[in-house]
């Protein structure tokens, strides 16, 4: 999260300095960072889903062996399979929650950045309008030009 905020702050500095090259560089960098994070999150989620699916299959297979084939399965074996299933479910939930938190943090940082960028542009436009109004006023009063 801290790195994301720093990246947006870097873009804000580039906007405020009117440095188009730096702004373009920061935008390209941030886009690459977001793409990399998206791929990492997708891979982590897919792996966790696979581990969960495998744990479900193992647990259901164990129960099926006991019920349908009459095999003797110990309570310890059932408990171990259930624990593996619960652990895989927890991991999947955790990754999903972390992704949602990351998305919310990114949206908040992006919104803050956008508001700051718009504010910077609007302040420049206001200052330019004031400067031009002062020039017109001066010209009309014979103070300038």
The per-residue pLDDT for 117 is 66
Angstrom distance (rounded) from CA 71 to CA 81: 16
Q: What mean pLDDT do residues 5-32 have?
A: 70
Angstrom distance (rounded) from CA 95 to CA 137: 62
The per-residue pLDDT for 26 is 73
pTM of the model: 0.52
Instruction: Render pLDDT for 59-88 as a digit per residue (tens, 0 to 9).
Output: 898 888 888 888 888 889 889 989 999 999
Q: Does the structure show a pLDDT above 60 at 139?
A: yes
Higher pLDDT, 124 or 106: 124
């Amino acid at each position: 999260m801290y790195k994301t905020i720093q990246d947006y702050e870097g873009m804000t500095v580039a906007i405020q300095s009117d440095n188009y090259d730096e702004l373009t560089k920061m935008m390209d960098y941030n886009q690459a960072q977001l793409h990399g994070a998206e791929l990492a999150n997708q891979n982590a989620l897919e792996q966790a889903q696979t581990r969960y699916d495998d744990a479900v299959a193992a647990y259901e297979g164990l129960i099926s062996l006991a019920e349908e084939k009459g095999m003797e399965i110990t309570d310890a074996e059932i408990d171990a399979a259930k624990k593996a299933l619960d652990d895989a479910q927890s991991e999947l939930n955790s990754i999903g929650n972390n992704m949602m938190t990351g998305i919310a943090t990114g949206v908040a940082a992006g919104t803050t950045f956008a508001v700051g960028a718009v504010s910077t542009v609007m302040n420049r436009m206001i200052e330019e309008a004031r400067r031009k109004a002062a020039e017109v006023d001066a010209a009309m009063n014979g103070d300038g030009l």
